[in-house]
């Protein structure tokens, strides 16, 4: 028994489907083209009609003010109950559909105030009594455009399910688009990157185009609006112009592929010009042959697709990741656009439907929204890493400065302890011995020593800008105490007195370099050269010491401190050294005069 129940459960959908099929009436249909839209209902019996079946595509191509009359002979095969069904037309962008049911006329379409009960299709409700047979006439009208359509008879529950899904999906898509717009608007305010503006413009037009194409705008938002046919064409053209501009900046075509960037701009400008011209013609000269504008627009559209796809392929060699993102987003667009164009020119029998456009747009907006947000996050993380590095460099600099200051203080403390401290103790001892004469002489020597120490730490002449004389005096003092080394100073067009803030730092830098060359480099000859050029000062320090490998040995706190001092004055610091061949340090500092 359970097996029977299980089999019955599996077969139930089949029975229901068969029952649903049996509910459909017998139908025969035919159509005739009214080239100038001059026929009336009373004239139709004298016209020649061509038979067609459910879901057969009727395609009259480009038309100008033409109408198509359809005759539907429908019979309710049920003898016991009435039949309610819906006559559906699969093209949501027909200007007007007029159903003639006896004396009753129902009209829906883009050019009318009325709307279809279902977003999925343009549909008329048909009611037939048991065994009744009726003839329904339908007039299909679309001005100055390509016209194709097919029909089918559907039950209400099926149409409601499909319409509910489409409405929910379109609402979800538009909601997500505006959420991404808000996020990217915030990112633009934070970064001032124009790429976010292009993305926002492209996404807004995507949302509008999707709402019109899926019939969401007519069915939900603006049911009384009468110009969705033109709105669909113009919004689609503007949408693709915005997409081209966005992709051009996303792939940085202006910097990397300037010729293709110019072509994209020119094609976009031509498309925009076509929009303006066609609007003016629609307003002032409606009898114009718009076929040529449609054809030219499609050619420009196809050319843009090819150039952008080609640019993305070339960009693989420049920025592989960005190019892959562009290709991933653009490949579905390329297929959809190519199918649309080929279908328009009747090269292929069928193109991808409006739902494909919805999915492709959703996919693109999501992808680029993700990519732009990820790029911002990557930049934020890199900036954060850079800030950490800057903080680390500042801490290192502070430690270096602290060490230099500590070393200088130790030197001063040693000098004071060894010279000043011992002499003061000797003076006190002389006073205790009541040897006033010798004590006065020692005090005089102590004053001279203090002046000399002060001069060594920072010569008074530096206050007057005498850098050369201060260095000469210090070098003479150093040379007097050296046995195996010699320091030389040369200056070329260098002024005796200069008025620059860095004069004190450069004096200390020179002493630091000399100390390093003697202490660490075991140099025998140290040469200092000072040059004055019209826009900058140049200093070169050369020694014949041990040298070092710049790639294997760090600069140390002393050289790092020198470099930081030079950079503070917007100068340039360069060091070159070869092991066992000495070291050359060059410093350039711009002149303030």
Q: CA-to-CA distance for 458 and 334, rounded, in angstroms?
A: 75
- 340 vs 206, more confident: 206
254 plus 322 within the same structural domain? yes
How many whole angstroms separate alpha carbon 164 and alpha carbon 350? Answer: 25
SS3 content of the chain, % helix, strand, coil (to 5): 60, 20, 25
Is residue 582, in this structure, part of any structural domain at all?
A: yes
What is the pLDDT averaged over residues 11-25?
Answer: 46
Report if residue 416 sits inside a domain. Answer: no
Last residue of a domain, one of 119, 154, 189: 154
- Tell me, what's the pLDDT at 457? 61
Q: Residue 406 falls within a domain, yes or no?
A: no
Give the chain's mean pLDDT: 79
Structural domain containing residue 28:
23-154
Q: Are residues 147 and 175 in the same domain?
A: no
pLDDT recorded at residue 12: 41
Please report how the helices 258-284 and 228-250 are oriented relative to each other, as an axis angle in degrees rounded to 10.
170
Which of 154, 179, 207 is a domain's end point? 154
Residues 173-208 have pLDDT tens digits of 888 778 877 877 887 887 788 888 888 888 888 888
- Are residues 189 and 131 part of one domain? no
| 250 and 149 within one domain | no
Does one domain contain both 238 and 332? Answer: yes
Q: Is the domain of 191 the same as that of 305?
A: yes
| Residue 250, both tokens | 């996303």
Query: Does residue 189 share a domain with residue 60?
Result: no
Q: Where are the alpha helices (DSSP H) in 345-433?
A: 354-415, 422-432
Q: Give the tens place of pLDDT for each residue, 521-566.
A: 888 999 999 999 988 999 999 999 888 777 666 666 567 778 888 8
Render pLDDT for 383-439 as a digit per residue (tens, 0 to 9): 677 677 766 766 665 565 556 555 666 666 666 666 666 667 667 766 777 777 777
How far, in Å, CA of 280 to CA of 276, rounded?
6
Same domain, 183 and 223: yes
The CATH number of residue 117's host domain is: 2.60.40.2380
Contact 244, 267 (CB under 8 A): yes
Q: Is residue 397 part of a domain?
A: no
Tell whether 203 and 345 lie within a shared domain.
yes
289-298, 405-414, 577-586: range with lowest mean pLDDT = 405-414
Residue 74 near residue 23 (C-beta atoms within 8 A): no
Total domains in the fold of the chain: 3
572 neighbors 588 (Cβ within 8 angstroms): yes
Tokens describing residue 471:
């260095």
Q: Which of 358, 385, 412 is the last residue of a domain?
A: 385
| DSSP string of 497-564, one letter each residue | S---TTHHHHHHHHHHHHHHHHHTT--SEEEEEEEE-SSEEEEEEEE-S----TTTS--HHHHHHHHH
pLDDT score at 461: 72
Q: Is 34 helix (H, G, I), strand (E, B) or coil?
A: strand
Say yes or no: 201 and 61 in one domain: no
Inside any domain, residue 359: yes
* Of the candidate ranges 55-59, 285-289, 480-484, 570-574, the one whose mean pLDDT is the lowest: 285-289
pLDDT of residue 498: 85
Alpha carbon distance 97, 107 (integer Å): 5
Q: What pLDDT score was predicted for residue 60?
A: 84
Check whether residue 150 and residue 176 sit in a common domain: no
Confidence of residue 10 (pLDDT cuts 50, 70, 90): very low
């Amino acid at each position: 028994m359970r097996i029977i129940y299980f089999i019955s459960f599996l077969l139930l959908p089949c029975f229901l489907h068969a029952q649903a099929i049996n509910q459909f009436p017998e139908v025969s249909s035919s159509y005739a083209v009214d080239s100038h839209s001059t026929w009336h209902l009373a004239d139709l019996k004298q016209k020649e009609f061509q038979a067609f079946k459910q879901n057969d595509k009727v395609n009259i191509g480009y038309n100008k003010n033409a109408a198509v009359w359809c005759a539907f002979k429908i019979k309710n095969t049920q003898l016991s109950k009435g039949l309610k069904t819906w006559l559906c037309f699969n093209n949501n962008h027909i200007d007007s559909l007029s159903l003639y049911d006896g004396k009753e006329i129902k009209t829906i379409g883009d050019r009318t105030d009325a709307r279809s009960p279902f977003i999925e299709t343009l549909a008329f409700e048909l009611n037939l009594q048991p065994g009744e047979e009726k003839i329904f006439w339908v007039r299909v009208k679309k001005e100055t455009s390509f016209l194709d359509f097919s029909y089918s008879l559907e039950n209400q529950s099926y149409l409601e399910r499909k319409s509910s899904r489409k409405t929910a999906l379109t609402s979800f898509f538009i909601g997500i688009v505006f959420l991404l717009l808000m996020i990217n608007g915030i990112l633009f305010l934070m970064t001032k990157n124009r790429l976010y503006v292009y993305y926002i413009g492209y996404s807004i037009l995507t949302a509008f185009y999707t709402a019109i194409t899926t019939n969401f705008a007519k069915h939900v938002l603006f049911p009384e609006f009468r110009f969705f046919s033109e709105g669909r064409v113009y919004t689609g053209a503007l949408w693709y112009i915005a997409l081209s501009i966005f992709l051009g900046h996303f792939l940085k075509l202006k910097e990397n592929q300037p010729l293709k960037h110019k072509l994209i701009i020119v094609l976009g400008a031509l498309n925009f010009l076509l929009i303006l011209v066609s609007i003016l013609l629609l307003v002032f000269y409606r009898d114009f042959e718009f076929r040529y504008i449609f054809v030219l627009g499609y050619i420009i559209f196809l050319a843009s697709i090819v150039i952008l796809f080609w640019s993305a392929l070339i960009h693989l060699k420049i920025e592989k990741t960005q190019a892959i993102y562009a290709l991933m987003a653009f490949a579905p667009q390329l297929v959809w656009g190519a199918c649309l164009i080929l279908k328009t020119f009747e090269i292929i029998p069928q193109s991808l439907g409006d739902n494909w456009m919805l999915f492709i747009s959703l996919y693109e907006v999501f992808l680029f929204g993700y990519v732009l947000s990820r790029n911002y996050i990557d930049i934020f993380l890199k900036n954060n890493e850079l800030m950490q590095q800057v903080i680390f460099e500042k801490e290192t600099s502070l430690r270096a400065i602290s060490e230099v200051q500590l070393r200088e203080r130790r030197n001063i403390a040693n000098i004071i302890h060894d010279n000043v401290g011992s002499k003061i103790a000797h003076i006190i001892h002389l006073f205790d011995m009541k040897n006033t004469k010798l004590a006065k002489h020692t005090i005089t020597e102590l004053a001279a020593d203090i002046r000399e120490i002060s001069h060594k730490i920072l010569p008074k002449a530096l206050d007057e800008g005498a850098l050369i004389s201060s260095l000469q005096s210090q070098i003479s003092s150093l040379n007097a105490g050296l046995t195996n080394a010699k320091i030389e100073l040369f200056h070329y067009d260098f002024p005796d007195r200069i008025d620059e803030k860095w004069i004190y730092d450069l004096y200390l830098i020179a002493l630091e370099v000399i100390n390093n060359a003697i202490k660490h480099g075991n140099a025998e000859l140290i040469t200092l050269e000072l040059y004055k050029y019209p826009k900058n000062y140049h200093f070169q320090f050369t020694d014949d010491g041990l040298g070092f490998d710049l790639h294997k040995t760090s600069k140390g706190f002393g050289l790092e401190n020198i470099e930081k001092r030079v950079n503070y004055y917007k100068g340039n610091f360069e060091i070159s050294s070869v092991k066992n061949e000495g070291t050359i340090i060059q410093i350039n500092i711009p002149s303030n005069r």
